[in-house]
């Protein structure tokens, strides 16, 4: 192997983990993205946050970027594996509609991290993405940097079972991998979070504890019960949502304006995002059950369908309320 290394990134000093977050946030803020906060419910990916899942629906343009810790119970390795994390950090970017130069803009964002694409092997490899629990899929690439997968690049086509118009582009950076690459360390726990604190200092214990729970302590029966409860609560709320009965409304526009506006009002007050949170809870519990190997092939299909049903109903209501929200804005 050659002596390592005379890389230009040494000149500026390798970026710390937090400096990377700053650089990417600044870069995308300059592209007109709102820099949102991480979501506070467990998610398997940044895609599942409402800032993506809901905002890609409907016609309004939207640009957002945020850091999102994402939990995948099955990937837990008790903090022992140098590359594998139960909770990893994504930088999630949504551009709706996608700019025509989006691939170039993305490559420029790598430049912002000090990666000079003239000296690296960057590939866009076909990789179409699908999230069955969200009724979402898209067409895209995984971006490889010298053989390392660093970003998922997706043109969304559907979310919550709804065809998107316009479509969005989603960029999901795997930050730990990029950090280990930039800092040239073999073990993710050795990544410097800042000048004095390592990634291991920040996260190792958490990895261990969650791994123990997800693989050993989680009671499968309790998790199933919780999933049922969250689902039932979501279903109860959905039942209470006052649906548009457009025909009846058309028939009685003059007779009962008060009734219609009260429907609209209670539609606007409907706790849709809570229903969605409950749906996310179900999805996470599904992942825990899956990590325990407690789900069979057929049951998996049925459970995915249950979560997807919630997600699809949420998107339908979100879209139904859209015109009213616009009018009131």
Partner 1 sequence: MGERVQAALSEARLLPANDEPPIRESALGTYSTPRRLVIHVPVLLAQQPDKIEEIVGPPVKVAVDAEGDYTRAAESFAQKNSVPLKDLTRVITPKGEYLALRKTTRGRPAREILPEILPQAILGLTFPKSMYWTEKSAPRFVRPIRWVLAVLGEGKQAKPVDFEILGVKSGDFTFGHRAKSARPLRVAGFMDYTKKLAQAHVEIDPARRRASFIREAQALVEKASLKIVQDEWLADWIANSTEWPRPMLGGFEERFLHLPREILITVMRDHQKYFAVEDGQGNLRPHFVAVLNMDSDARGLIRQGHERVLTARFRDAEFFWNADQKKTLLERGLLLHTITFQSGLGSYANKVARMAKVARVIFEALQEKKLVAPHEWENVFSAVDLCKADLTTQMVQEFPELQGVVGGLYAKAQGRSDEVATAIYDHYLPLGPEGQSPRTLVGALVSLADKLDSVVAGFAVEHQPTSSGDPFALRRQGNGIIKVLLEFKISISLWSLIQKFHEYLAGHAEEGILTEVPWSRTLPAVHEFFRERLEYYLENIRCFRYDTVRAVLAAAASWDNPLDATERVEALESLRGGEDFEAVCAAAKRIRNILTKSATVADWRPGEVDTSLLKEPQEIELDQAYRGIAGEVARYREERQYRQALEAISTLRPAVDRFFDKVLVMAEDREIRQNRLRLLKKLDELFAGIADFAEIAQKQ
Binding site for partner 1 (CB under 8 A): 1-2, 4-7, 74, 77, 80-84, 98, 100, 104, 107, 117-126, 128, 138-139, 145-148, 155, 157, 163-167, 181, 184, 186, 292-299, 301
251-260 long-range contacts (CB < 8 A, ≥24 apart) are none
- CB 308, CB 262: distance < 8 Å: no
The residue (of 46 and 140) whose beta carbon lies closer to partner 1 is: 140
The residue (of 7 and 261) whose beta carbon lies closer to partner 1 is: 7
The angle that helices 17-30 and 102-112 make with each other, rounded to 10 degrees, is: 140
**Peptide bond before residue 97 is cis, with ω within 30 degrees of 0:** yes
- CB 27, CB 109: distance < 8 Å: yes
The residue (of 204 and 260) whose beta carbon lies closer to partner 1 is: 204
| Nearest distance in Å: CB 156, partner 1 | 9
| Nearest distance in Å: CB 256, partner 1 | 36
Instruction: Tell me phi and psi for residue 200, to 5 degrees.
Output: -60, -45
| Nearest distance in Å: CB 74, partner 1 | 7
Spatial separation of the C-alpha atoms in residues 321 and 314, rounded to whole Å: 11
The residue (of 104 and 248) whose beta carbon lies closer to partner 1 is: 104
The residue (of 38 and 59) whose beta carbon lies closer to partner 1 is: 59
Spatial separation of the C-alpha atoms in residues 42 and 158, rounded to whole Å: 22
Using a 10 angstrom Cβ sphere, with 0-12 exposed, 13-18 middle and 19 or more buried, the burial of residue 194 is: exposed
| Nearest distance in Å: CB 293, partner 1 | 4
The residue (of 303 and 314) whose beta carbon lies closer to partner 1 is: 303
Closest by alpha carbon to 94, among 31, 22, 178? 31
| Nearest distance in Å: CB 219, partner 1 | 13
| Nearest distance in Å: CB 262, partner 1 | 34
């Amino acid at each position: 192997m050659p002596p390592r290394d005379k890389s230009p990134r040494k000149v500026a000093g390798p970026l710390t983990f937090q400096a990377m977050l700053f650089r990417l946030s600044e870069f995308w803020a300059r592209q007109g993205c709102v820099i949102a906060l991480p979501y506070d419910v467990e998610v398997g990916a940044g895609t599942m946050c409402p800032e993506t899942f809901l905002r890609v629906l409907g016609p309004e343009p939207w640009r957002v970027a945020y850091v999102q810790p994402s939990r995948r119970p099955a990937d837990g390795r008790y903090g022992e594996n140098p590359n594998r994390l139960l909770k990893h950090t994504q930088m999630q970017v949504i551009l709706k509609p996608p700019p025509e130069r989006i691939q170039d803009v993305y490559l420029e964002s790598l430049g912002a991290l000090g990666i000079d694409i003239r000296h690296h092997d960057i590939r866009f490899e076909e990789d179409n993405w699908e999230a069955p629990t969200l009724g979402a899929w898209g067409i895209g690439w995984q971006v490889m940097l010298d053989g390392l997968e660093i970003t998922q690049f997706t043109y969304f086509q559907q979310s919550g079972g709804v065809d998107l118009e316009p479509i969005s582009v989603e960029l999901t950076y795997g930050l730990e991998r990029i950090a280990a690459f930039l800092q040239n360390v073999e073990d993710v726990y050795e990544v410097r979070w800042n000048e004095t604190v390592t990634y291991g200092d920040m996260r190792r214990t958490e990895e261990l504890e969650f791994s123990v729970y997800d693989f050993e302590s989680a009671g499968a029966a309790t998790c199933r019960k919780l999933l049922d409860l969250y689902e039932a609560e979501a279903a109860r709320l959905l039942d209470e949502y006052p649906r548009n009965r457009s025909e009846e409304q058309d028939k009685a526009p003059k007779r009962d304006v008060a009734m219609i506006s009260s429907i609209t009002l209670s539609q606007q007050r409907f706790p849709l995002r809570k229903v969605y949170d409950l749906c996310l809870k179900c999805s996470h519990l599904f992942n825990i059950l899956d990590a325990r190997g407690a789900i069979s092939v057929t049951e998996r299909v049925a459970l995915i369908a249950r979560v997807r049903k919630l997600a699809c109903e949420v998107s339908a209501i979100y879209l139904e309320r859209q015109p009213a929200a616009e009018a009131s804005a």
